[in-house]
Amino acid sequence: MIWLTWRQFRPQAVTGLALLAAAAALFLVTGSRMHDSYATALAGCAPMGACDGSTAAARALGAQLSQLQRSYELMFMLLQLLVIAVPAVIGIFWGAPLIGRELETGTHQLAWNQTVTRTRWLAVKLGVVGVAAIAATALLTWLLSWWAGPLDHLGGDRWAAMTFASRGTVPLGYAAFAFALGTTLGLLLRRTLPAMAITLAVFTAVQILMPALIRPHLLPSTTTTYPIDQATTSRFHDFQSTQTDFRFGLPVPKDAWLTSQPPVENSAGQVARVADHLDCLPTGATPQNCLTSATAFPGTTCTRRSATTPRATTGPCSGWRPDSSSPSPAHSSAPASGGSDADRTDPPRNARPRTSQVTRNIVRGARLCVSTSARP
C-alpha cells in the first residue's frame, strides 16, 4: 500500500521537491549575503560596547543596520508570504486530489479490492502525504527562520500577523490543517477541481480571520496602566500629541503582544484632551510636569497576560513610588484572570509572588492617588 501511495504521489512529490530546492537556493544565496553584512556591522560596534547607539560611531553603525533592514524589507515580506502560502499550495495540490481524484475516476474501487483493507488504504495515504506536507513546510520554515534571524533581531515583532504565521510550529499546524481541509473537501465533493478551489478560498479566509478576529482572544488580554510621574516617564518614549489627545510609546513586557495603545487618560478614565493641557505643547515639554495637573489617578484596570495594552494615566502621584522590588512600574492582574490559564502561561514560576506584590502596590497606589487628589 505504501508503494501505491508513493507511486501515485511521486509526480507531486517531485514537483514539490523541485520547488523546495529552488526556494532553498534562494534562501541560501540571499540569506548568506545578508548574514555577512549583518555580521560585519555587528563586528564593527561590538568592540565599542556601544551597539545601543550611545556614541557617534555606534549610531553610524546603527544606521547601517537600519539600512540593511530596509534593503531586505520587500524580500523579507515576500519570503514570509511564501511560507504562509506553502500550506495552501499543499492543501490544493496534495490534499484535494488525494481521495477526491480516486472517487472521481472510480479507481478507489480498484484499490479497495486488492487484499488491503480500506482502513489501511486511508491511513497510509493520509500518513505518507500528510507527513510529507508537514516535513516540506518545516524545512521551509526553518530556512526562513535562519534567513530572517538578523532582521527579526533588529526589529522583528513576532506578533505581526505575517511573522507569527511564518515562524516556529505555526506553519506546521497550518500545513496539517490545509492538508486535512483539502483531503476532506475532496472526499466530500468527490471532485478534484471544486475541492481545490474551495480549499484555497477557505484557507485564505482562515489566514485572514485568524490573526484579525481570533488570535488576539486566544488568551485573555492584559491592560497595564502607568501613572505619569518621575519614576515611570523615564521609561516612556515618543511623547506625541494628536489633534485632541496625547500618546506615549510605553514599555511593553517581553513576549507580550501589544494589541492597542490608547491615549493618555486622566484619573476619571477620560481621555486627557490637548485643550486642557496646552502647556504640554509643543510635545517637547516634560510630560510629567504638564500632565500632572490632571485631577486624579484612576484605579488600575484588569490585566491579563499575553496581550498587553499599556496605557498612561495622568495624576498627581508624586507621593507614590512603585515598590522597589517591582520589576515594572505597573503590571497588575485582575482577580478574575488569576485562573489556571494565567498561571500556566506565567514564566517563570518564581516570579508569581512578585507580580501579585505589584498588584497590591498598584491598588494601594491608586487609593493613595485618589485620596491625594481629594485634598483641595
Partner 1 sequence: MTAILQAHALGKSYGRRQALADCTLELPPGHVIGLVGPNGAGKTTLLKIACGMLAPTTGQIEVLGEQPDGATSQLARVGYVAQDTPTYANLSVADHLTLGARMNPGWDAKLAQARIEQLGLQPRQKAGRLSGGQRAQLALTLAVAKRPELLILDEPVASLDPLARRDFLRHLMESVAEQGTSVILSSHLISDLERVCDYLVVLVSSRVRLAGEVDELLAQHHRIVCARRQESDLPAGLIVISAEHTDRQSTFVVRSEGELPAGDWSAEHLELEDLVLTYLERGAAPGAGAATRPTGAAR
Closer residue to partner 1 in complex, CB, 5/361: 5
Q: Is residue 110 at the binding interface for partner 1, with CB under 8 A as the rule?
A: yes
Closer residue to partner 1 in complex, CB, 3/350: 3
Binding span for partner 1 by CB under 8 A among 115-123, 129-137, 341-349, 359-367: 115-123
Quote the least distance from Cβ 7 to partner 1, whole Å: 6
Among 40, 71, 107, 234, binds partner 1 (CB under 8 A): 107
Binding span for partner 1 by CB under 8 A among 107-115, 185-193, 202-210, 259-267: 107-115
Binding span for partner 1 by CB under 8 A among 3-11, 169-177, 213-221, 253-261: 3-11
Query: Can you tell me whether residue 265 is helix, strand or coil?
Result: strand
Q: Is residue 349 at the binding interface for partner 1, with CB under 8 A as the rule?
A: no
Quote the least distance from Cβ 2 to partner 1, whole Å: 8
Q: Is residue 15 at the binding interface for partner 1, with CB under 8 A as the rule?
A: no
Q: Is residue 260 at the binding interface for partner 1, with CB under 8 A as the rule?
A: no
Q: Is residue 188 at the binding interface for partner 1, with CB under 8 A as the rule?
A: no
Q: Is residue 282 at the binding interface for partner 1, with CB under 8 A as the rule?
A: no
Among 21, 39, 48, 116, binds partner 1 (CB under 8 A): 116
Q: Is residue 7 at the binding interface for partner 1, with CB under 8 A as the rule?
A: yes
Residues 6+ apart with CB under 8 A from 229: 288, 292, 317, 318, 320
Residues 6+ apart with CB under 8 A from 218: 306
Closer residue to partner 1 in complex, CB, 40/117: 117
Residue that has been written with the C-alpha cell 494601594 in this structure = 364
Q: Is residue 117 at the binding interface for partner 1, with CB under 8 A as the rule?
A: yes
HSE, side-chain direction, 13 A CA sphere, residue 15: 8
Kindly list the distances between the CA atom of residue 365 and the CA atoms of 201, 227, 325, 360, 372, in Å, as whole numbers in the listed order: 52, 9, 15, 8, 10
DSSP 254: T
Closest to 368 in 3D by CA, of 264, 229, 223? 229
For the stretch 7-14, contacts whose Cβ atoms lie closer than 8 Å and that sit 24 or more positions apart, written own/partner, are: 9/94, 9/128, 9/129, 9/132, 12/93, 12/94, 12/97, 13/132
Q: Is residue 218 at the binding interface for partner 1, with CB under 8 A as the rule?
A: no
DSSP 271: B
Query: Can you tell me whether residue 179 is helix, strand or coil?
Result: helix
Q: Is residue 123 at the binding interface for partner 1, with CB under 8 A as the rule?
A: no
Task: Give the integer Cα–Cα distance in Å for 264 and 272.
Answer: 6
Closer residue to partner 1 in complex, CB, 106/348: 106
Closer residue to partner 1 in complex, CB, 118/153: 118
Closer residue to partner 1 in complex, CB, 8/199: 8
Quote the least distance from Cβ 113 to partner 1, whole Å: 4
Closest to 136 in 3D by CA, of 90, 195, 190, 180? 90
Classify each residue of 105-133 as buried b or exposed e, where b means 16 or more C-beta atoms within 10 Å of its C-beta.
eeebeebeeeeeeeeebbebbbebbbebb
By CB under 8 A, how many residues form the interface with partner 1? 19
Closer residue to partner 1 in complex, CB, 120/360: 120
H/E run at residue 181: helix 170-189
Length of the chain in terms of residues written: 376
Q: Is residue 348 at the binding interface for partner 1, with CB under 8 A as the rule?
A: no
Q: Is residue 114 at the binding interface for partner 1, with CB under 8 A as the rule?
A: yes
Binding span for partner 1 by CB under 8 A among 109-117, 133-141, 294-302, 305-313: 109-117
Closest to 298 in 3D by CA, of 258, 344, 330? 330
Residues that bind partner 1 (CB under 8 A): 1, 3-4, 7-8, 11, 105-107, 109-118
